[in-house]
Amino acid sequence: MPFPRSCDTFVVLPPLTKKNVVIFGKNSDRPQNEVQEVVLIKDRAKEGKLKCTYIAIDESPNPINHVILSKPAWMWGAEMGANDKGVVIGNEAVWTNHNEGDGDARAKRLLGMDYVRLGLERGNSAEDALDVITSLLEKYGQGGPCSEFDDSHFYHNSFLIADPKEAWILETSGKLWAAEKIPAGYRNISNGLTIRTKIDKHSEGLKEKAEVMGLWDGKGEFDFTEAFSSGGDEDRQRAGERLLREGSASAAFDARDMFNVLRHKASSICRSCDDTFPTLGSQVSSLSAEGLSVHWFTATPDPSVSYFKPFVFTPNAQISPYTESSNEPKREHHLYTLHAQHVLNSNNEKISKVLREIEEGCLNEISEVIRKYDAKKLNLTELDDLMKKCVETEVKLYG
């Protein structure tokens, strides 16, 4: 099976960011014509068993976090998202040389996208979400078709998990895993294993199992990528790293800089809708430990011709139903349909320019809100329908 070259996830941390925040970004590249919806899930009812995309698992005994998700409309899980505790997660497809038994990704188990949602629903910090995912991975494994209409599209997963204080890279092969803590600087992942010898957490008996499987000779320092990788997109990985290095050189990296990274065409980080695996949704999050965390979603394909709309978790937060897909065959939500008609299919540069101007206005307004934000007053009412208003503005633009 040829490996799709798609998906990138990024993080930039202090001291390289403006106002000491953590900036997260992800492009979700998926099969052509798949619709990605943005949904807000609050106070999800708990039942005895939780039905995920393919299998049912034990429900969490703890309270479920509120989450906003950018997800393929047909599945339970999500490509990326955030929770009301300040945690964000994005996942990537990876291919490894452990493909039998627990490593057989064809078997219907939990998808990597299911783990994104589970980590957000149950994790109250980046490391907590990491522990949630790995404990469930060791119990249930991973696998199953990752496309609604293509049973040959399956893989293992890597994850970038962040909160306002730190980030973690989690890379897996079947039920085996390794994790690396990223306390500062920048990091990106792009459909290939990247964890080498700096392993801060790992599955029990990882090295011994690798040796038994003939993937490591037991000599020298253990290298997770060298042992388990069966290939990846090294060119895009290097291009993403270069963009982060250049963008953070002034130590003032912000959400706008991450927008630019996700819109980069020459590197194939941003993929047009005529690509085999186009960019169907994008997320950027600015995570603050003491101030206001803001999450930006396109909810439409190709960020170079879409605009990022802001969302903030407030006690009464809401988003527009126009980004939630219907159950009709194409699963298109209203904003997706209008964007396709007026932007993607018509190559309407005038509308694209207006969208970018609206986005710039949102960035400036959010910057002013953050500047004036006083956590002690906790008056966030004016932000309850922030994303809803932005979506409705876009819908009105299309007439």
Question: How many Cβ atoms are within 10 Å of 214's Cβ, its own excluded?
Answer: 9
Q: How far, in Å, CA of 151 to CA of 343, rounded?
A: 31
Measuring CA to CA, which residue among 24, 28, 75 is closest to residue 53? 75
Positive/negative CA dihedral, 341, 311, 180, 240: positive
Enter the tokens of residue 84: 């009301």
Measuring CA to CA, which residue among 184, 199, 262 is closest to residue 25? 262
Q: How far, in Å, CA of 50 to CA of 154, rounded?
A: 22
Per the CB < 8 A criterion, the answer to whether 116 and 90 are in contact is: yes
Q: How far, in Å, CA of 166 to CA of 349, rounded?
A: 39
Looking up tokens 């101030």, which residue turns up? 291
Measuring CA to CA, which residue among 282, 193, 188, 161 is closest to residue 242? 188
Measuring CA to CA, which residue among 286, 255, 388 is closest to residue 334? 388
User: Is 362 annotated in the active site?
Assistant: no
Q: Classify residue 63 by burial, with Cβ atoms within 10 Å: 0-12, 13-18, 19+.
A: exposed
Catalytic residue among 7, 52, 146, 362: 7
Per the CB < 8 A criterion, the answer to whether 119 and 91 are in contact is: no
Q: Catalytic residues, which ones?
A: 7
